[in-house]
Amino acid sequence: MQGDLAVGIHDLSVSTTQFALTHETLAAHNGADIGKYHVGIGQRSMSVPAADEDIVTMAAAAAAPVVGRAGADRIRTIVFATESSIDQAKAAGIYVHSLLGMPSATRVVELKQACYAGTAALHFAAALVRQDPSQQVLVIASDVSRYEPDDPGEATQGAAAVAMLVGADPALVRLEEPTGLFTADIMDFWRPNYRTTALVDGQESIAAYLQAAEGAWKDYTERGGRSLGEFRAFCYHQPFTRMAHKAHRHLLQSQGHAADEDTVDRAVGGTTAYNADIGNSYTASMYIGLAALLDSAEDLAGRPVGFLSYGSGSVAEFFAGTIVPGYRSELRSGLHRDVISRRRIVDFTRYRELHAFSFPADGGDHPAPRETTGPYRLAGVFGHKRIYEPR
């Protein structure tokens, strides 16, 4: 049963990278029909990090407006979700904590389970707030999606971060109970420690996603959740935006509902606008979908929204949230559109240079080229230490 204390997302901010590659440019390189990208997977462009950008710089850029508005005094915990980790021991959130000048009396941890980890972080944060409603939790999901050149997954690449402030009496989304869970041991997508790019079985991954969506929904309904017809919209993890359509169509059909294109588009179409330009941002993807939905023209005040979070390997969770009346006054719609529109479009040669860039692992001093116009940058790697700075 839902407790009396309202807990959820109080603020939300999105950031992405300096550069972008259009799918027209990618199609011209590999000879693909542009419809394969624009229609088949629903992508227009992909965000590409500069040499001095990574998950930390994007995370700090997303979090700075949130901390700036709320202040840091009540933020007792930072939870950083990523599958693009930069260190096997140190949480990336500690760098963000330092860049933003946050108090030392703060708990900082990093969570990993493919693209699902952002949702694990959100529920971890909500539990901490229910334990102590006076505190707030900064949840950050930040990732860079990378595949081998000419891999089928190359067209789905992207990079972005989302920062969410979780607290009592939220201004944007009130989280509901119960949640529905599903886990299965499936090798559909993975990245061993010795690789910088992911391995993926595309068809297996789609099948695993659909199986997980159905399984999480089954657990949700068995625990007394809402019916499908109660939801105004659905936010799905979007490895590519058409996957949200596939997943919702499958869920509708599995429950005996009509699943024509208009019905599916009404449910998920408002969530895809940003991801179509950014590409796959792994842990941040579903919450970028939420940002797009909230920033859309429709007034969603008081309406329930369904969330299906999926992470390969695989773990999924279905949960619900109600959009809080008055939410529009708290949105960052202009900022979100600006961080996407300000990206500089690169040609294919420059994209491949950026894709191939890496710092030597010899322990020497390696300054990063000054490329980003974002608020924070990776200064370089010096004696095996990553050094970040305000730009």
Q: Where are the domains of the chain?
A: 7-390
Name residue, tokens 């089928």.
152
Q: What residues are annotated to the active site?
A: 83, 115, 237
Nearest 5°: CA angle at 339, between 376 and 377? 15
| Residue 385 phi, psi dihedral angles, 5° rounding | -110, 130
| CB-based burial, 56-95: b 16+ in 10 Å, e otherwise | bbbbbbbbbbbbeebebeebbbbbbbbbbbbeeeebbbbb
From first to last of its 391 residues, the chain has per-residue pLDDT tens of 345 899 999 999 999 999 999 999 999 999 999 999 999 999 999 999 999 999 999 999 999 999 999 999 999 999 999 999 999 999 999 999 999 999 999 999 999 999 999 999 999 999 999 999 999 999 999 999 999 999 999 999 999 999 999 999 999 999 999 999 999 999 999 999 999 999 989 899 999 999 999 999 999 999 999 999 999 999 999 999 999 999 999 999 999 999 999 999 999 999 999 999 999 999 999 999 999 999 998 999 999 999 999 999 999 999 999 999 999 999 999 999 999 999 999 999 999 999 999 999 999 999 999 999 999 999 999 999 999 999 9
Half-sphere CA count of 288, side-chain side, radius 13 A: 38
Closest CA to 162 of 54, 15, 286, 334: 15
For 7-390, CATH number out of 1.10.260.40, 3.30.300.30, 3.40.47.10, 3.40.50.300 equals 3.40.47.10
Give pLDDT, residue 358.
96
Q: Which residues contact 214 (CB under 8 A, 6 or more apart)?
A: 250, 251, 254
Name residue, tokens 């001093």.
365
Helix axes 241-254, 261-268, angle to 10 degrees: 120
Cα dihedral 88, 367, 282, 170 sign: positive
Q: What is the CA radius of gyration of the chain?
A: 20
User: ω into residue 178 within 30 of 0, thus cis?
Assistant: yes
Start-to-end CA distance of the chain, whole Å, equals 47
Name residue, tokens 């579903």.
286
- Tell me, rounded to whole angstroms, the distance of Cα 378 from its chain centroid: 21
Q: In whole angstroms, what is the distance from residue 253 CA to residue 233 CA?
A: 17
User: ω into residue 314 within 30 of 0, thus cis?
Assistant: yes
